[in-house]
Chains A and B, each alone.
Chain A
């Protein structure tokens, strides 16, 4: 079973929480996360349950105008 992280298929972690997913991915800081196109604040990662097929966006700082 999989989730989609930044458009790429990844294995669904155990337990099925955003925290577990982020531990497995180890994105470099700083980053922010959206789950199924909704922002998830850092304090809510542990409570955010993820299911097969969910879409996760992890964003980083970039140049902008």
Chain B
């Protein structure tokens, strides 16, 4: 057995996880459904956010906070909805104090329709956050230059999208994603956004990605708990397939059953000139 199969854990900024699934906590119909989905998914991390208290609400996020703490999962706050580096940085600072973690899922959105990351703002924000001691997980695209710039400023994990957030389309640009994986074999790459089906998750794991971050694909399924379990299985299957080393695709058919000894076959090895 190869070494990578013996100690196969996801390592994010020195933290080790046996699960390769990161689960979002939004858009569940009830807290109990979220709780059950977390149990079924067994995620490495839970993504969370911060918002103003809703007027008239007596809860102030306290029940959500209690639920989070009871799961004992690693919390990954995000900067969702931020449209500038400045906004993202101050949100990250508030998240750090609120959730008591240096981890931050950095989102700097450049287009409010596609929710595509702003590559320029993302690099600027990542640079400053790394200097402030944050452990930055940037939500980015598969663009190689952007990914390189993010690594240059100190990001030790990248989270390229598969497709726009919440679309469930699956990997839109498989070639570029696979090229990115080849270019950065030693940095954790987590597919974030656009995954809709367990088969999408399995596929990117087969390509060698290190993990998958999901939210809507689970929370908006008809049965989120069952879907959470399906994704957990798919991610494990994809990872196992990657570690197993898939066969090389062939251009032409290759019989899997041995030809030698097949009954009624013409034996071309026998000289034809023996008949008289």
Which residues of A are in contact with B by a Cβ distance under 8 Å?
A: 6-8, 27-34, 37-39, 41-42, 57-65
Contacts of B215 in A (CB 8 A): 65
A61 touches B55 (CB 8 A): no
Chain A minimum-CB-distance residue to B28:
A63
Contacts of A58 in B (CB 8 A): 52-53
Contacts of B173 in A (CB 8 A): none
Choose from B25, B53, B94, B95 the contact partner of A63 (Cβ within 8 Å).
B25
* Closest beta carbon of chain B to A28's beta carbon, Å: 4
Chain B minimum-CB-distance residue to A38:
B90
Q: With an 8 A cutoff between CB atoms, is B26 at the interface?
A: yes
Chain B minimum-CB-distance residue to A32:
B94
B27 touches A63 (CB 8 A): yes
B68 touches A61 (CB 8 A): yes
* Closest beta carbon of chain B to A19's beta carbon, Å: 16
Which residues of B are in contact with A by a Cβ distance under 8 Å?
A: 24-28, 34, 47-53, 55, 59-62, 64-65, 68, 77-78, 80, 90, 93-95, 97-99, 165-166, 213, 215-216
B49 touches A41 (CB 8 A): no
B90 touches A60 (CB 8 A): no
Choose from B25, B28, B50, B97 the contact partner of A60 (Cβ within 8 Å).
B50
* Closest beta carbon of chain B to A63's beta carbon, Å: 4
**The 9 nearest A-B residue pairs measured at CB:** A64-B49, A65-B24, A65-B215, A60-B61, A32-B94, A39-B93, A63-B26, A28-B60, A63-B25
Q: CA separation between A28 and B59, bound complex, in Å?
A: 8
* Closest beta carbon of chain A to B195's beta carbon, Å: 11
A64 touches B47 (CB 8 A): yes
Contacts of B24 in A (CB 8 A): 63-65
Choose from A6, A42, A62 the contact partner of B61 (Cβ within 8 Å).
A62
Q: CA separation between A57 and B49, bound complex, in Å?
A: 15
Contacts of B98 in A (CB 8 A): 30-32, 59-61
Known: A8-B55, A27-B60, A28-B62. A62 touches B94 (CB 8 A): no
B97 touches A62 (CB 8 A): no
Q: CA separation between A29 and B62, bound complex, in Å?
A: 7
A39 touches B60 (CB 8 A): no
**CB pairs A–B below 8 angstroms (20 shown):** A6-B55, A27-B53, A29-B62, A31-B98, A32-B94, A39-B97, A59-B98, A60-B50, A60-B65, A61-B98, A61-B99, A62-B64, A63-B25, A63-B27, A64-B26, A64-B47, A65-B24, A65-B26, A65-B166, A65-B216
Contacts of B78 in A (CB 8 A): 64-65
Contacts of A27 in B (CB 8 A): 53, 60
* Closest beta carbon of chain B to A56's beta carbon, Å: 10
Q: CA separation between A34 and B95, bound complex, in Å?
A: 11
Q: CA separation between A64 and B107, bound complex, in Å?
A: 12
Contacts of A42 in B (CB 8 A): 97
Known: A32-B50, A34-B90. A61 touches B97 (CB 8 A): no
* Closest beta carbon of chain A to B88's beta carbon, Å: 12
* Closest beta carbon of chain A to B129's beta carbon, Å: 12
